[in-house]
Structure formats: structure tokens, C-alpha cells
């Protein structure tokens, strides 16, 4: 029976762990037991070799399957695998990643992702409230059709960069550690063009307009933005595109003001409607109709700037949990011109109101 330590135990992970967890454990243990950090410690060096061997097997899906089924026996002569050939094969990957960007030390080495793009889209209040789909115009560099994005003139092709030998990165050893940075000649692409495509000047991309379908969810507000994955600027050949960010701007509406998920509308009523009470119609925002109204009953004696809240008639919530409220602000209209008869009637009304006010005061004083 093999005396080797279980590979999962070596890395300190469970047998069902995911690839990301496996890689995190490998980084942690490799840094902890790195010989450069433990100079003269033979046990640290042996442990370092052990975790590299474990990671080489478990990070490969096929090798991991064999190991899970047969254990170490699957990699011994006559087993179901070709065997372990180099326990240090993953060291370069680890330190390339450590010192080329993933841990903040600059440089490149992996396929560069395309840049993100940002545009602004204006929506009506109704579109923002109830959601919509729009075709937005995007203008950005796209792969050149003439050279299929290679940047090379027809009949020629890009060649491996002689400085980095096509890897896109150059390395310099400092002691036991290998420091990696982006190749200055090919800028990380790994390829150079000797005969440039005349259509794109060797850039592999030309600027052109295209349309992107964007779905705006119900309840979105001005100042918010949507991310559309993969619709940004194209990356170098073989690398993913960036993302498109759509910033939302909502048009001013003549009938409503938005306050979060609530809508505010102002209605004008006559003096008599406010004084006597009345059933009035107020505007409402609905998905289809522009002239939808709701009934609101004003009690007698309604004052100017009185507020009435109608629940469930505001903006739909982004999480889909109902709608906000419609807040109605009542404004009493005062006539600016009066006929002689209207003036006479108002004078009589004023006198009557003063009599009523005096009588009310007397009754109140008598009750004290």
C-alpha cells in the first residue's frame, strides 16, 4: 500500500471541493511552505513538493477522476494514468498569477478582456415604471472584417512575438521567485504584425455602429444603470469582450413627479368643491392608457395643499413586491376676475360666513 499522504489531506480540502476552492487552498499552502520563505528548512521544501504534486493531479479533471477511483495506485507503473512527470509543473502558474495581476503586482499574461462601454438611454416615466425593451445604438471598435481581427494584410498572418515567444509575457528570475510582466513589444497579445491590414491599420478592429437589445426592468429610476454582459468593446483575438453599461435617464413628466416608488400629482378644484366636498377624477399612471383617471372623494372643507394618498397606484417596486402610492395634492383655484353678480354673491357669502363664525365663537365660550 502506498505511504503517500492523501492529496486532499495535503491541500486541506474536502474530496467534493470545487475547483476554485482547490486553487485557493493550493495558493495558501504553497505560499506558506515556499522554500524561499523557509530557507534551510528541509521539511518545508518536502511539504512544498507534496502540495504541488497534489495540486497537479487534483486540478486536472481526468487525473482527479482516476485518483478518486484508484488513489495513488492509479499513477504507479501499470496503473490507469501516465504518471506524475514534474511536481513543479504548477509552480510557474502560481507565481505568474501572483506577480502578474491577480494579487496586485501588475503585469499581464492571461487573455486580455475587452474594455467596458458606457452609454445613456432616456426613457419616459411610463417606460421606466412598467419596464420596456429598447434597441440602443452602440458605436465602438469591432473586429475588422478584412483581416478577421488579426490585423495582418490579406495573404499574411500575425507571427509569434520574438521577444516573448508568443506567450504575451516576459519573466525575470530573482532568486527562487519568477517575476512576470506584460511583453512590451506585443503588449500581452503574443503576436506581432509585420504587414498591416490597410483597412484597420494593423489594429485588428475598426469603429462601427451596432444595435443592442436591452431590457429595462419595471421600476428602474434615473441615475441607475444596467449591465449587459459581453456587449462592450471586443477584446484581442481569443479573449472575451467587455460589458456594456447603460445609464438610465428619465424624462420629466407633465402630470407626475416621482419620489422613489411614490408618484405625486397636483389637481386644481374650485372653491365650492373644496368647501362643499366633491367627487373628482385624478390622473393615474398605468401601462397602456395615457388618460386613465381614478375617483377621489374630497370631504367638505378641504384646504388648499391637502394631501390624499391612494395606495397601490405608484411605481412598481424593482423587487416585484407591489407598487408605491399616488399622492394627490389638492390646490384650490381662486378666480382672478369676477362678474358683478359673482362679486355680489361672494359678498353675501362673506357676510354670512362672518355671522356663522361669530355664532360659533359664542357657543364655544358658553360651553367653557
Model confidence pLDDT, tens digit, residues 29-73: 888 887 767 777 888 888 888 888 888 889 888 888 888 877 877
User: Which positions of the chain have pLDDT values less than 70?
Assistant: 1-3, 36, 74-112, 173-178, 236-238, 356-357, 359-368
Q: Write down how long the chain is.
A: 368
Element counts in the chain: helices (H) and strands (E): 8, 15
Q: Are 115 and 174 in contact (CB under 8 A)?
A: no
CA–CA gap between residue 9 and residue 67 (Å, rounded): 13
CA–CA gap between residue 242 and residue 97 (Å, rounded): 21
Model confidence pLDDT, tens digit, residues 111-164: 567 888 999 999 999 999 999 999 999 988 777 888 877 788 888 888 888 888
Check residue 304 and give its pLDDT: 93
Give the residue range(s) of CATH 2.60.260.20 domains in the chain.
257-332
The grid cell for 336 is 382672478
Query: Alpha-carbon dihedral of residues 351, 352, 356, 362, nearest 10 degrees?
Result: 50
Q: Specify the CATH architecture of the domain 7-89.
A: Orthogonal Bundle (1.10)
Give the residue range(s) of CATH 2.10.230.10 domains in the chain.
117-250
User: Per CATH, is 257-332 categorized as 2.60.260.20?
Assistant: yes
The grid cell for 219 is 421600476
Residue written as cell 502558474? 93
Concatenating the DSSP letter of every residue in 17-68 gives --HHHHHHHHHHHHHHT-TTTSTT-HHHHHHHHHHHHHHHHHTSHHHHHHHH
Check residue 53 and give its pLDDT: 87
Residue written as cell 407626475? 256
Query: Alpha-carbon dihedral of residues 349, 354, 360, 364, nearest 10 degrees?
Result: 160
Domain covering 117-250 in this structure, CATH number: 2.10.230.10
From the list 204, 199, 211, the residue with the least C-alpha distance to 238 is 204
Amino acid at each position: 500500500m502506498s505511504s503517500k499522504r492523501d492529496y486532499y489531506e495535503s491541500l486541506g480540502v474536502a474530496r467534493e471541493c470545487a475547483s476554485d476552492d482547490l486553487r485557493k487552498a493550493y495558493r495558501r499552502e504553497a505560499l506558506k511552505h515556499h522554500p524561499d520563505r523557509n530557507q534551510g528548512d528541509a521539511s518545508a521544501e518536502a511539504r512544498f513538493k507534496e502540495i504541488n504534486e497534489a495540486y497537479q493531479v487534483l486540478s486536472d479533471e481526468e487525473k482527479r477522476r482516476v485518483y478518486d477511483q484508484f488513489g495513488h495506485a492509479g499513477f504507479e507503473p501499470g496503473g490507469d494514468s501516465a504518471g506524475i512527470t514534474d511536481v513543479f509543473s504548477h509552480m510557474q502558474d502560481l507565481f505568474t498569477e501572483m506577480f502578474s495581476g491577480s494579487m496586485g503586482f501588475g503585469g499581464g499574461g492571461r487573455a486580455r478582456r475587452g474594455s467596458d462601454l458606457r452609454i445613456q438611454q432616456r426613457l419616459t416615466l411610463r417606460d421606466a415604471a412598467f419596464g420596456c425593451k429598447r434597441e440602443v445604438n452602440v458605436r465602438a471598435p469591432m473586429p475588422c472584417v478584412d483581416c478577421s481581427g488579426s490585423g495582418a494584410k490579406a495573404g499574411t498572418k500575425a507571427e509569434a512575438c520574438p521577444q516573448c515567444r508568443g506567450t504575451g509575457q516576459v519573466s525575470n528570475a530573482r532568486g527562487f521567485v519568477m517575476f512576470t510582466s506584460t511583453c512590451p513589444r506585443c503588449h500581452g497579445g503574443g503576436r506581432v504584425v509585420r504587414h498591416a491590414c490597410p483597412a484597420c491599420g494593423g489594429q485588428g478592429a475598426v469603429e462601427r455602429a451596432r444595435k443592442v437589445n436591452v431590457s429595462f426592468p419595471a421600476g428602474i429610476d434615473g441615475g441607475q444603470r444596467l449591465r449587459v454582459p459581453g456587449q462592450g468593446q471586443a477584446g484581442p483575438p481569443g479573449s472575451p469582450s467587455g460589458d456594456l453599461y447603460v445609464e438610465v435617464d428619465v424624462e420629466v413628466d407633465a402630470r407626475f413627479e416621482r419620489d422613489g416608488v411614490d408618484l405625486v400629482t397636483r389637481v386644481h378644484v374650485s372653491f365650492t368643491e373644496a368647501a362643499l366636498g366633491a367627487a373628482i377624477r385624478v390622473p393615474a399612471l398605468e401601462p397602456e392608457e395615457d388618460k386613465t383617471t381614478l375617483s377621489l372623494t374630497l370631504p367638505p372643507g378641504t384646504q388648499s395643499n391637502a394631501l390624499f394618498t391612494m395606495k397601490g397606484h405608484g411605481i412598481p417596486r424593482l423587487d416585484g413586491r407591489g407598487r408605491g402610492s399616488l399622492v394627490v395634492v389638492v390646490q384650490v383655484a381662486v378666480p382672478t376676475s369676477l362678474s358683478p353678480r359673482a362679486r355680489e354673491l361672494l359678498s353675501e357669502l362673506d357676510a354670512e360666513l362672518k355671522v356663522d363664525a361669530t355664532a360659533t365663537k359664542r357657543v364655544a365660550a358658553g360651553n367653557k
